[in-house]
Each structure stands twice: as C-alpha cells, then as structure tokens.
Amino acid sequence: MQKRLLVGYLFIIIILFNSGCSQFKEYKHVFILELSIPDLMISLSDYSSNSDFRSAISDANEAQLTSSDDFITLFAEAWHTQVAYQESPTQLWRIFHNMNNHDLFPAKSTDEEIIEILASEAKAAINNTERIITKRISNNYTYQNRINFKINQLPNCKLEIITSAIEDKNNFRKTLVSSGNVEFWPVLFNDEVYNKIIGAEISFANSIHPNFYGDNALADSTLSPEQLESKFPIQSKGLVLISPQRGEELITVGYAHKDDRENISEILNNPLIKADIGEDVKFAWSSNPTTVMHKGDLGIDTKRDSTSTTSFYKLYALNDKSRRGKAELTGKSIINAQQSKNVYGEPV
C-alpha cells in the first residue's frame, strides 16, 4: 500500500507576549522569541541517543533555571562532569561527526573545539532567525499596515521585537512562528494502525486487571467509572477512534477535543503501549482544528461547550522509520512542491 507524505512544521521558537514598552514611546508591543538550543544540538547530533549526551542536555536544562550562563556553557560544564571519572570517556566529536555534519565537526576534535563550534552554530542560528523575522515582517506588515519595528538580540539566544500598534496581535504572532523547518513524514493509513491501538489498549488493561477481557470478562455495566477508565486507557482520555471502512483509505486515526490532546499523547507514549503499537509509529495532531457540526456524530460524550464546533483536532500516525523522531525528508531536499488532497479533503 502506497504511503502518503504529510507536511509538518518543527518550530524552534517559543513566543511570549507582553503589551506596553516604556523604552520607546512610539512603540506599543514587545514580542520575545527564544531559540531552543537543546533542540538545535540534538538536531546537529543527528538525534543521538548517547546516554552521556542526553544526561548532559538534561542537566544543562535544569541548571539554566537558576543560572544566567548561556546553555552552551552550561552544557559544557555538565558534559565534563558527566565524563570526568570515566575510564574511557566518550568524546564529543563522536556524537556530532555524523553523516550530515562530518565536515562541520571534524573527526578527532577536542571537546573544547566541539563546544566552540556549537557556540558558533547557536550564534549563526539566532542571526539567521533575525534575518528571517525581519524579512517576514517587512514583507507582510511594513507596507500594508505601516508599522514600525525594532529587533534586538538578547542573551541566551532570544530576540526582542518591539513594534508600533498592531490591530491583530494574534495574527502577527502567527506570522512570527510560521518560520519553521518543513518535514515530510510517511503517513500510515487508518487500517494499518487501528488494530494496533486497540490491541495495545487491551494488553495494557489486562496488565492492570486480568478480568477486563476474555471468557471471564466482567460486563461493562458492572464496572465502576474508575474501572472503565482502566479498561479503556486510551479512549477514556477522550480519543474518538475511527473504525476502518472497507475500500476507504483514510489517514485520520481519530479526533479529540483540544483540551484532551496532552493526556492522549501522554498515554500513547507510555512505554508499554508504545511497545505494542510499535516504536516506528509516531503520532501527530493536525495543526488546525476541524469543524464538527454535531459532536454526537463522532460518538463523543462530553460536558464541554456544545457550541464549540471547531475545538476538535485530527490524530495522524506517522511512520517513523528512524525510530528516533527524525523525519525521512526535510525542506532542504525540496526543489518544488504543491499540496494535494484526497476525496475526503485530507492532505496527501
């Protein structure tokens, strides 16, 4: 069965918004953008799973909560602490000298040299982000809406964007965050993953209570709300699965209310459930909500506001062949592209 490629966006920018700015009287709004250096380093390492590397990343993240030092400095300290007393310590160049970046990180470089390269890459990334944001604002706002803006670089790879009055601040924020890296993922069809999810749910439930399923299974009507939640650990979180239909090729696995997505993602990433579904399956939510005219059409029993018809998001199952959360194809490989949809209006 032919796979479809789904376009996704990996954002490395976190947006915070504050109104008012006393520094410039003619300016009204301040936007702070932060580049995620941990994500940048993990990407440069080709998503290395080296335990020393991952521990140093985690320790540096924790140290950053109470330190004014930049992340690269904190990582260097955490790395040296991690390998200091090892008989045969891991060398940083072995983590970053990979197929994608072997020229950037030469073999047999010292740890100090690798740290310098990482610091340089972080600086280049923030400079590139500033150029992208400047061009994006100039193209979309300065001529049409006549706004003025300033961009300042702050410590720890942050950008401060100060603007004059903006009528639609939310739309402006969307303009900023839309500068991300395009990724292309093979998408599993609904019938390729539906039974795996149901099987994982049954297996997980049986590990809690052996009488949930089988010849001696207890009737659902006799179960307490807590037991029903244990019997359906995935669906009870709010995921409405779509049963495969013969002859139809759907890529939507199910739907969920926007407020339920976090809990559903958490249970789907539970190690026991993930092992049953498959380590090569990566779940992803649609970036935009889908319109649901009547919640009952989806079999959703919820106390949520029934007038909210655009609060539901589609769940997709991506084929993660790398098993490391790494897209098989990125925007760097694309020369020309266009979006297509199937007969159901889904991207293909």
Q: Which of 179, 206, 223 is the last residue of a domain?
A: 179
Q: What is the DSSP letter of 69?
A: S
Of 45-54, 173-182, 248-257, 271-280, the one with minimum mean pLDDT is: 173-182
Same domain? 215 vs 314: yes
For residue 117, is pLDDT > 60? yes
Query: Model confidence over 189-222: pLDDT tens digits?
Result: 899 999 999 999 988 888 877 767 766 666 777 7
Domain boundary among 133, 160, 179: 179
From 161, 179, 197, give the residue that closes a domain. 179
Are 151 and 78 in a shared domain? Answer: yes
Strand partners, 329: 184
Query: Can you tell me the distance from the alpha carbon of 295 to that of 255, in angstroms, rounded to the nearest whole number?
Result: 11
Mean pLDDT of 51-77: 93
- Tokens standing for residue 337: 């592209």
Please give the residue that has the higher pLDDT: either 37 or 32.
37
> Is 230 inside a domain boundary?
yes
Q: Note the pLDDT of residue 41.
A: 92
Question: What per-residue confidence (pLDDT) applies to 163?
Answer: 80
Residue at 225: amino acid letter = P
Tokens representing residue 152 in the block: 């300042």
* Summary mean pLDDT of the chain: 77
DSSP-derived secondary structure for 284-343: EE-SS-B--S-GGGGT----S-TT--S-EEEEEEEE-TTSSS--SEEGGG-SS----B-T
Tell me how far apart the alpha carbons of residues 30 and 33 are, in angstroms, rounded to a whole number: 10
Is residue 189 located within the same domain as residue 326? yes
Residue 335 scores a pLDDT above 90? no
* Mean pLDDT for the stretch of residues 269-275: 91
Same-domain pairing of 127 and 270: no
Is residue 342 in some structural domain? no
**Highest mean pLDDT pick, 33-37, 38-42, 151-155:** 38-42
Number of domains in the chain: 2
User: What pLDDT sits at residue 347?
Assistant: 55
How far is the C-alpha of 47 from the C-alpha of 67, rounded, in Å?
26
- Assign residue 60 a region: left if phi > 0, alpha if psi is -120 to 50, beta otherwise? alpha
- Whether 158 and 94 map to the same domain: the answer is yes
**Where is pLDDT greater, at 336 or 85?**
85
Identify the band that residue 74 occupies on the pLDDT scale cut at 50, 70 and 90.
very high
Question: Does a structural domain hold residue 68?
Answer: yes
Q: 304 or 80: which carries more pLDDT confidence?
A: 80
Chain centre to alpha carbon of residue 119 = 24
d(CA 79, CA 9): 30
Confidence of residue 164 (pLDDT cuts 50, 70, 90): confident
- Please indicate, yes or no, whether residues 329 and 286 belong to a single structural domain of this protein: yes
Q: Which of the two residues, 226 and 97, has the higher pLDDT score?
A: 97
* Whether residue 143 is found in the same domain as residue 54: yes
pLDDT at 297 over 70: no
Q: Report the relative pairing of strands 329-330 and 4-10 from DSSP bridges.
A: unpaired
State how far Cα 35 lies from the chain centre: 14
How many Å apart are CA 93 and CA 115, to the nearest integer?
A: 10
Are 35 and 158 contacting, i.e. CB atoms less than 8 angstroms apart? yes
* Domain of residue 111, residue span: 11-179
User: Is residue 173 within 8 Å of 161, Cβ to Cβ?
Assistant: no
The mean pLDDT of 50-69, rounded to a whole number, is: 93
pTM summary value: 0.51
Domain annotation covers residue 338: no
Residue 105: is its pLDDT beyond 90?
Answer: yes
Let me know whether 119 and 255 are in one domain: no
pLDDT at 114: 96
Q: Which residue's entry shows tokens 């969920």?
A: 256
